[in-house]
Amino acid sequence: MKARIKETGEIINISDYARATLDKCDSYGSPIELSFDEVEILQERSDNIDWEQRRYELAKAAMQGILSNEEEVGYACSGATYKENEKHTVPKAVAQFAIACADVLINELKGK
């Protein structure tokens, strides 16, 4: 696991303990330890990406962006698809467009 020291920005390797031990020693030769309040835990790149969670986060961000622009809302509504006898609503149209945007970005990230 990696962490960034908040004070200096230095990236260090740590274990899952209550304190982070640096690869450096102080002037007395003792290993330097920092509490987890003094470091920022960094996510290591992993092949175990939770794509459903990522899809939710991307769709949420896309929906916020779409709703912030009246033209984008209109565009989302023009491309929405509905089931027979289903009520046409702006939230449904925007949600469909946001999910479509998220899916395209995920496919790009996956290299598809």
**Domains in the chain: boundaries:** 2-42, 51-110
pLDDT of residue 23: 66
Q: What does pTM read for this prediction?
A: 0.54
Give the chain's residues under pLDDT 70: 1, 13-23, 34, 36-37, 39-47
Query: Could you report the per-residue pLDDT of 26-57, keeping only the tens digit for each?
Result: 788 877 776 766 766 666 666 677 889 999 99
pLDDT of residue 96: 92
Picking from 103, 87, 91, the residue whose alpha carbon sits closest to that of residue 66 is 91
pLDDT of residue 39: 66
**In sequence order, which ranges of 2-89 are alpha helices (DSSP H)?**
51-67, 70-78
pLDDT of residue 44: 61
Phi, psi of 16 (to 5 degrees): -90, 55
Decide: residue 39, CB within 10 A, 0-12 exposed, 13-18 middle, 19+ buried.
buried
pLDDT of residue 103: 95
pLDDT of residue 55: 94
